[in-house]
Structure 1
């Protein structure tokens, strides 16, 4: 096979992968696992409860691999910049990763990323991610974040769930780049508000 044909095929496969949902993840109509977790908003720790958050409207539960890494930084910033639009649609946001609460305290308050606009929750053992049928990969030694600090935890796949107040998953958003993931999530909650 010549080099240009291989490139076209590879590009096509990568494009297809970018639009496919996360097949292993819980899908539309499934009951969302109820969870509580240590969380932080603007660097202030608290206990997040999905069940309590759902009393106020839909919740965007977005799982990401790690705070202070390239795509996760972009995704957090994009959620923060669009927070008012999510609020207007009646939806709240919670980011979930396997980061420690100490790392998340910094990340949630960082004006470049979460900017204190939405909370992040620590799923240190990956139990919450697994309850949503997400793949959790173990940490590999030597990985460093964008600040040069060692990443000493596992990683959940980047997948977002829109959960309605009745506890059902309205949509699962996976296989997209961080910005598209946020934009698609916003589009879904805006449609929910209209229905």
Structure 2
């Protein structure tokens, strides 16, 4: 019962916050490296290295195993073959600990893509600090970035409703592929 109440409180917090991304299209995406998990195993992510292979979808989500974040991870997992066909890598980012990310990468991401720990520096650089009443909540905004191989932001979508993130990022990746 306590978990249900906590989930309800978290949802109320998320629903009551505004989500705006500050990195505009065309901005240079801040480079970073992070630890995370892929298929339950430790994983190291480097944006610079990933961009050598093609576009990168960085999707920030507030908290593993919350309803919206789990549904969003399922949606990205279901679309993983389409992202791969377009030459893109998908990486979910949150400030969850590595043990939680390992479990989330298997259960919610269905072993289809990596999740990584967003450090305070990455959260600040990508302007995804979820605030309420001007104060950090310790969570990240639900913000998706598509970063082109040249390191520039090709698309950004910031909305606490998870439902359009996969569709919009996939469309942006496909536009990069047709131009490229």
TM exceeding 0.5:
yes
Greater strand percent: which structure?
2
SS at match of 1:32: coil
- Tell me, which stretches of 5 or more residues in structure 2 are unaligned? 1-17
How far the C-alpha of 1:192 sits from its partner, in A, is 1.4
> What root-mean-square deviation, in Å, do the aligned CA atoms of Structure 1 and Structure 2 show?
1.6
User: How many equivalent residue pairs?
Assistant: 158
How far the C-alpha of 1:22 sits from its partner, in A, is 5.1
CA contact (8 A) 1:22 1:172 kept: no
**Among 128, 131, 145, which residue is 2:125 paired with?**
131
**Aligned counterparts of 1:46 and 1:74: Cα–Cα separation in 2:** 22
Match of 1:17 in 2: none
Give the alignment's TM-score, normalised by structure 2.
0.83
Match of 1:6 in 2: none
Moved over 3 A (4+): 21-24, 136-139
- Tell me, which stretches of 5 or more residues in structure 1 are unaligned? 1-20, 140-153
Q: Which has the larger radius of gyration?
A: 1
1:87-140: per-residue Cα shift (whole Å, max 9, x none)? 111111000000001100000011xx20010000012x432121112224445x
1:19-57: per-residue Cα shift (whole Å, max 9, x none)? xx9544211000001010111101110211010000000
CA contact (8 A) 1:129 1:136 kept: no
CA contact (8 A) 1:130 1:136 kept: no
**Aligned counterparts of 1:71 and 1:167: Cα–Cα separation in 2:** 29
CA contact (8 A) 1:25 1:172 kept: no
Match of 2:167 in 1: 183
1:117 aligns with 2:101: no
How far the C-alpha of 1:168 sits from its partner, in A, is 0.5
1:162 aligns with 2:157: no
Give the alignment's TM-score, normalised by structure 1.
0.77
